[in-house]
Structure 1
């Protein structure tokens, strides 16, 4: 049976007997209740009056939007959809922590669940409903982009709880009114809701910055829009889904190099389905600690945070919990080792890199996917073989023993897998740079009141600010606590005093060294953008042109080994660097901004230098040629 027929037949399995038969005219329960809700009627009437729209016309528009987004749960259709999901997931064995599921079922019996999930694949929307349905959770309604509302299959999906919503609604405020009211009614009816806190799939493997739309409507609901204490509450549940490997990563990395995104249509769906024919290991679903959204909003209000600030803090809370729930995969650790070396390694050399990482992961009590033993030789070798089979690695076995390296043009793919765990290593990497800064202090250097230790703290905070658009850092107080934990692991006791000599000793004896493995790709990418930005002096900057120039020059630097790895040449990383520059006011033209741009580039050059020093301390061969400090505008040559 062809893939096209298989997708079509499984999609139709949940439709009425005649494919052409119209769906029942009766709208879902929530729509009916909303249309008769006096508060909703008053809200529509107010909107019509404020926008000088005839009330019947406003009702026609809002009713159309409600029917467009409304979803329902039909048992027969849901069973057919689950079979379709199982077929799409045939490349994986899905592993679930059953103890977590049992605890969550108890919460499900008493509360409406708001499942905020990480989004690494289109398959997430099948993994989560199938896992919950198989364990007899209350029906879950999942928000998805309207771009996925394809003919036939979109109709089926709506009858399994899929709520298709538009992404751009700035110009249609009445749509936002309809969506907000619909979500309120769903929570009032104790429905479970699921949505991606990132808004869309990650292109780098790590969490993207959270979007606030659905979360804002949920917070409005639990706070009652000023209606008092009768408002319903929800339990927010972070849900992490991570995969050993993904077929679609190569397409995402092509976009990171400048390719256009493939539009979602039936041809795209068939191609996506065909990709799943080849086995790729396991998918892991894990659950973070649930929390009451109303209680959290009350806590923030007591701290003086309300409105957008409170929603933003809750979104960050969810992202932190998602990261903490995400397990370490063997694929990620092997990718980390090979990306850091950027040369062929034997199994023993990979194990030598992984062993101190495994010890560190144990010390920090981070979960490992499938309870895998990261020190086990056969486990590491199997991961190497699977990555070679999928083309991420190349293997050479004609010598005395097999060796593996990152394949040509596969650095971004390997980086995607590494980045699924990079959040657990960032603070340790920053701690190493803080120690290096102290170790480089000159004798007799002027020190702040806190002495050498304060110099280290200030450096750590500077790196935190430099990378704050890339990673989710805790509050400054929590960040300092985490750094103290890292220093405690390094030293074995609390650090009261820190001299340059002691800092150097700690760095030399530390295991593992992580700054060059974790931070260098991001700092290299930032330096490319900062270098091209500095070339504009005080002048105007066109962001699209700057990104294109960064891609071109970045590729040159990669060929010249002025950046450590080709993974740094990525539009996704360049865009984050651009966001940081915008935040610093470096994209606005004007007198003096050129000097600030030069200072930004100089700061990044020094950060890259120090990361490379950590690499040298770790015993890494010196391979990187430092980018020169520009003395004049670049000359374009024609070949």
Structure 2
């Protein structure tokens, strides 16, 4: 039974709980659960009621008004900018549908930005799912009366809890309640979207299943910030530090941090869609069950990325991380100019409609980043210069990564062109010739990075690459030669592969090297991560990797997911050779992004590690 069940409830159970307890379908489900577990039905009923009371929430008007004021106080570090046109369209949808607001999660503040923005525009009350770790004494009692639903994160061993939560969500949709939850499950540690979790979404898809089932409109909601006080703590975790537990002391420290102004927070709304219609489309295509839930989760993530605007902070961080030296304002502008042109050409939104080419806009972003300690400024010479501060590379990378999704396909396209440009005159070519070589290289890189970024389907990915080539050439591309590919690369603006992909590939190479060092032996994953952190730090000092931002547990974990997918973590005869091939594949990928850096005029002097042998790279299937 849950601890302190019922202590934080209003005087009467919320409507959904009362209705569920009298619902015949729910009563039958509880009886079935008791039979499956071989337990008395009364015992299971007692347990399920306790869980319903634990997770249930209500909207008390007076408490909610006070909560909004507290949210405004917590958000005092920011001016919150909302796209009013999007919100007006969403308001019309709110009148007739239950809205499932799936938001990106970069900060604990997200749970205040979204409900406050909706309440200020008189939306129907929103119920927000939050981790039970945030259910602190006293404040948890208050929060539950403002629509905050505290749920447990690990429920695999508690089938009765899962039954209660699934049924509660179904009743919320039936009553046309609006719900909000993080599709990532928890805060990102890198700035870009984490892989989606399926818990809440799975229960929503169960709810809309059936001819007479209620529908729900899924609404991707992006919240992005100029800067965040939390980032330095998250980067400490990425270096192997312990996560600070959420308690009253943590909350007080978090509140105090917000005293210092950090610019703006931007709330934007992605394209909504009917969950029932989307599930029907997938079923018609033969995609059902867990695979369908995965596809919907990826749909949401793609729409979230498309809705996320480019911030000036992100572009300035990208410029300085790429240079990894002090730059003047003019040098930053020179780096930003081709990026701004590219963003315009791709019609990506810019936060606050800022002009990325405006000198005062860039100077202000530099000053704000210096004030928060991300950059250091030196003005003792002929003109001021700025550089990434000591131990601040992961912080700057967090801000850059908020927009990295718009640059990845262009970066992969550059590597595909480089592969074509390096073809030998007598090279054996596939049926499609040199152009086909480029496509195959792009697809190989897509597979190598598929655990890091959300790519469209293979067909959609190829369409995007054609768009990138059209931007480079000015017309459709039907053929390619090594000379033409080299010419396009040399004249391209901007060059992105070294700025976007090198940190991830460097991190993958560190882990692949430590994995190869274990030969055919089985791997303890925690030990491999610890070893990668230690050796990665050594490589950063030796300049075997381009930047300290690659030495991150988050990136090593993704690399390990890729290695696991390739079957490289289990020991056995021959796996050592496959591990060597994996390291060789990554070493070659790093070499090629460094070549792009040299073409861009930003060579990085790194010493790539050698392996025991030079096996051929594995196919990345």
TM-score by length of 1: 0.94
TM-score by length of 2: 0.97
Aligned match of 1:544: 526
Cα distance per residue 1:80-124 (max 9 Å; x no partner): 000000000000000001111101000001111000000000000
Question: Residues 103 and 22 of structure 1: is their aligned pair in 2 closer, same or farther, counting only changes over 3 Å?
Answer: closer
Q: Does 1:299 align with 2:285?
A: no
Mapped partners of 2:405, 2:126: distance in 1: 29
Cα distance per residue 1:120-140 (max 9 Å; x no partner): 000000000000000000000
Q: Does 1:394 align with 2:376?
A: yes
Task: Give 1:184 deviation, angstroms.
Answer: 0.2
The partner residue of 1:351 within 307, 329, 333 is: 333
Checking the alignment, whether the CA contact within 8 Å between 2:51 and 2:164 is kept in structure 1 is yes
Three-state SS of the structure 1 residue aligned to 2:534 is helix
Aligned match of 2:310: 328
Aligned match of 2:31: 45
Aligned match of 2:188: 202
Aligned match of 2:108: 122
Mapped partners of 1:49, 1:385: distance in 2: 65
Mapped partners of 2:612, 2:89: distance in 1: 59
Aligned match of 1:3: none
Q: Over aligned residues, Cα RMSD in angstroms?
A: 1.0
Aligned match of 2:481: 499
Mapped partners of 2:101, 2:427: distance in 1: 53
Three-state SS of the structure 2 residue aligned to 1:370 is helix
Aligned match of 1:136: 122
Mapped partners of 2:607, 2:322: distance in 1: 16
Q: Does 1:448 align with 2:430?
A: yes
Mapped partners of 2:459, 2:613: distance in 1: 41
Task: Give 1:623 deviation, angstroms.
Answer: 2.1
Aligned match of 2:60: 74
Aligned match of 1:237: 219
Mapped partners of 2:11, 2:307: distance in 1: 42
Mapped partners of 2:322, 2:58: distance in 1: 49
Mapped partners of 1:469, 1:370: distance in 2: 31
Cα distance per residue 1:440-489 (max 9 Å; x no partner): 00011000000000000000000000000000000000000000000000
The partner residue of 1:580 within 562, 574, 594 is: 562
The partner residue of 2:451 within 434, 453, 469 is: 469
The partner residue of 2:166 within 180, 192, 202 is: 180
Three-state SS of the structure 1 residue aligned to 2:223 is strand
Mapped partners of 2:217, 2:37: distance in 1: 36
Aligned match of 1:251: 233
Aligned match of 2:16: 30
Aligned match of 2:136: 150
Aligned match of 1:266: 248
Aligned match of 1:162: 148
Q: Does 1:319 align with 2:305?
A: no
Q: Does 1:434 align with 2:416?
A: yes
Task: Give 1:396 deviation, angstroms.
Answer: 0.4
Task: Give 1:626 deviation, angstroms.
Answer: 2.0
Mapped partners of 2:321, 2:8: distance in 1: 54
Task: Give 1:631 deviation, angstroms.
Answer: 6.6
Cα distance per residue 1:386-429 (max 9 Å; x no partner): 00000000000000110000000000000000000000000000
Task: Give 1:142 deviation, angstroms.
Answer: 0.3
> What are the ranges of 5 or more consecutive residues in structure 1 without an aligned counterpart?
1-20, 633-639
Task: Give 1:572 deviation, angstroms.
Answer: 0.3
Task: Give 1:50 deviation, angstroms.
Answer: 1.0
Cα distance per residue 1:541-594 (max 9 Å; x no partner): 111111111001100100011100000000000000000000000001000000
Mapped partners of 2:358, 2:535: distance in 1: 41
Task: Give 1:206 deviation, angstroms.
Answer: 0.2
Question: Residues 123 and 22 of structure 1: is their aligned pair in 2 closer, same or farther, counting only changes over 3 Å?
Answer: closer
Task: Give 1:22 deviation, angstroms.
Answer: 7.7
Aligned match of 1:636: none
Aligned match of 2:619: none
The partner residue of 1:365 within 347, 352, 356 is: 347
Mapped partners of 1:305, 1:344: distance in 2: 52
Three-state SS of the structure 2 residue aligned to 1:110 is coil
Mapped partners of 1:179, 1:545: distance in 2: 36
Checking the alignment, whether the CA contact within 8 Å between 2:404 and 2:500 is kept in structure 1 is yes
> What are the ranges of 5 or more consecutive residues in structure 2 without an aligned counterpart?
1-6, 615-621
Q: Does 1:190 align with 2:176?
A: yes
Mapped partners of 1:238, 1:353: distance in 2: 32
Checking the alignment, whether the CA contact within 8 Å between 2:8 and 2:140 is kept in structure 1 is no
Aligned match of 1:95: 81
Three-state SS of the structure 2 residue aligned to 1:539 is coil
Mapped partners of 1:211, 1:552: distance in 2: 30
The partner residue of 1:557 within 528, 532, 539 is: 539
Aligned match of 2:157: 171
Mapped partners of 2:603, 2:273: distance in 1: 47
Three-state SS of the structure 1 residue aligned to 2:95 is helix
Three-state SS of the structure 1 residue aligned to 2:322 is helix
